Amino acid sequence: MPRTLFILLTALLLLGGCYSKPVRHLASDASLIQAGRSSRQDVLRYLGEPDGHRLVSPGVEEYVYYQTQRSFLEKTPFVGSMMKPNGYEMLIITLSGNRVTKCEFRSFNKKDREWAKDFTWKKVK
């Protein structure tokens, strides 16, 4: 009986490792899109539906993909929801008609503005 219980618990633990939810990595996904060559269908196939969409001018639109950068502690159950994200990543894709004309990846980190604390500010007359 104890041996069967041990085998059952081991099997459950190992099967738990097989679970995975889809993960989006915007930095590597941006390399799949090429300005001038990729189409709207390519963007939707590789990246899915955008997090934001806007019409810039007639025939020109932007798709925005957004993802927060989470630290190790933010990924832990229960405690992670109380933590603030380190920053975020954004991918902006400009489409003209059915073609990608521009693909821009941006990464923002909360430490990006720390230089302002140590900078000696001079008054301008």
> Could you report the per-residue pLDDT of 75-117, keeping only the tens digit for each?
666 666 677 777 888 999 999 989 999 999 988 887 777 777 7
> Could you report the per-residue pLDDT of 15-24, keeping only the tens digit for each?
666 655 566 7
Domains in the chain, number: 1
Write down the pTM of the prediction.
Answer: 0.66
Is residue 119 in a domain?
A: no
Structure confidence at residue 93 (pLDDT): 94
Is residue 123 in a domain?
A: no
DSSP notation for 32-73: T--TTT-BHHHHHHHH-S-SEEEEEETTEEEEEEEEEE--TG
Is residue 86 in a domain?
A: yes
Is residue 120 in a domain?
A: no
We report the CATH number of the domain holding residue 65 as 3.30.1450
Is residue 75 in a domain?
A: yes
Range of the domain at 45: 24-110
